[in-house]
Chain A
Amino acid sequence: AQSVTQLDSHVSVSEGTPVLLRCNYSSSYSPSLFWYVQHPNKGLQLLLKYTSAATLVKGINGFEAEFKKSETSFHLTKPSAHMSDAAEYFCVVSLSGNTPLVFGKGTRLSVIA
């Protein structure tokens, strides 16, 4: 079975401090991994994706994620949080074969001024 677990349902940081959103996955295959962001009442926007190339992936708006196979993790980081980063973030796994992506339950990021 495959799954993706976002370890925190809510993370709160101060503006200008680092962001860490944690994601672990389980898979029998070499997965493709994604992070999406959703602002209130909006659709999801792709932040970044890992598809078996470089293990450190850079995305939009200063976010990056590192694929660690030994830890089955794909944590999302940003060096300095901005107020506009406040949103819901989803970690997503794609497995080989024609099966839909598997979504984590999301982490709500709050940024305090």
Chain B
Amino acid sequence: DGGITQSPKYLFRKEGQNVTLSCEQNLNHDAMYWYRQDPGQGLRLIYYSQIVNDFQKGDIAEGYSVSREKKESFPLTVTSAQKNPTAFYLCASSLTGTGDDGYTFGSGTRLTVV
């Protein structure tokens, strides 16, 4: 079955560490997105990529980095510069960069700083 896979489901990070969240899709979608979700704040866009080897900052990119070396993969690194990284992270993809057909979401990664 085609879909979008995020791993791990739960992740714990110590202060000062970088961690990388994985996002893989086998839908042959051109565009991929990373969102952060905090209680009562909806979804906030971190980064997005509409084509391989290209990506753009979203509304809250500070403290995060991404790469898009392959169409299927869009990993997100949460760096030590992110002051409050504890959140639920969602990855999504869409057939084209317009998103007219909507997004397909992964099941999310919950990151906790310990």
Structural contact, A49 and B98, CB atoms closer than 8 A: no
Chain A interface category by residue count: 20 to 34
List A contacts of B6 (CB < 8 A).
Answer: 43
Within 8 A of B (CB), among A4-39: 9, 32, 34, 36
B contact residues around A97 at 8 Å (CB) = 98
A105's contact among B33, B42, B102, B106, by CB below 8 Å, is which? B42
Q: Which A61-113 residues sit within 8 Å CB-CB of chain B?
A: 90, 92, 94, 96-98, 100-101, 103-106
Do the beta carbons of A41 and B102 come within 8 Å of each other?
Answer: no
Chain B interfacial residues counted at CB < 8 A: 26
Contact status of A43 and B98, CB under 8 A, knowing A90-B42, A101-B103, A106-B42: no
| CA distance in complex: A41, B41 (Å) | 15
Choose from A90, A101, A105, A106 the contact partner of B99 (Cβ within 8 Å).
A101
A63 to chain B, nearest CB (A): 15
| A106: chain B residues within 8 A (beta carbon) | 42
Stretch at the interface among B14-22, B43-51, B66-74: B43-51
Nearest Cβ on chain A to B74's Cβ, whole angstroms: 13
Would you call A103 and B108 a contact (CB within 8 A)? no
A13 to B103, CA, bound (A): 29
Chain B residues with Cβ below 8 Å from A105 are 40-42
A93 CB, nearest partner CB in chain B, Å: 10
Known A49-B102, A51-B100, A94-B98; contact A41-B43, beta-carbon cutoff 8 A: no
State how many angstroms separate the Cβ of B33 from the closest Cβ of chain A.
Answer: 6
The reply to whether A100 and B45 contact each other, CB–CB distance below 8 Å, is yes
Which of B43, B58, B98, B104 contacts A90 (CB under 8 A)? B43
- In addition to A43-B105, A49-B102, 4 A-B residue pairs with Cβ atoms within 8 Å of each other are A44-B103, A49-B101, A100-B45, A101-B102
Which chain B residues have a beta carbon within 8 Å of chain A's beta carbons?
6, 33, 40-43, 45, 48, 50, 58, 88, 90, 92, 97-108, 110
